[in-house]
A = this chain, B = another copy of it.
């Protein structure tokens, strides 16, 4: 839920190796501008505000580069498309995505907390895992209780509640 976005370093490459191009900088800035989760389309749409000429292929390639350099992380999916979030935290953890407003929050890895034994029965050795959590942020769950419109201020693209 917290935000550690250092905008202001958009003069150089905002993430990892690779060349610093106007498009890449624009995409990185757009990614950082989301308070929560965003899809490739959300990102593309937002980048168009900066660079209307940017191509979808470039957005996808930038997402791949940002994911590889851990500038962003895939946190779930919505309607068949992947959701990402800007995350500057190091260490193994996961994210909860608010299905109401797209806000995200960190969570410790439940598998680490539960212990390997629980996850690896019968001699299985767990080598990798994926944990995706969906829910409602404090603001959206208040709203849900009040049966009113969502009023939280996250500017991420809203998610279809049906997905939950």
Contact = CB atoms under 8 A, between A and B. Distances in A.
Interface of A: 1, 76, 96, 98-99, 105-108, 110-111, 113-115, 118-138, 141, 164
Identical chains in the assembly: 2
Nearest to A134: B128
A124 B108 contact: no
Contacts of A126: 96, 133-135
A99 to B, nearest CB: 7
A134 B138 contact: no
A119 B133 contact: yes
B113 A125 contact: no
A141 to B, nearest CB: 5
Contact of A133 (B129, B133, B141): B129
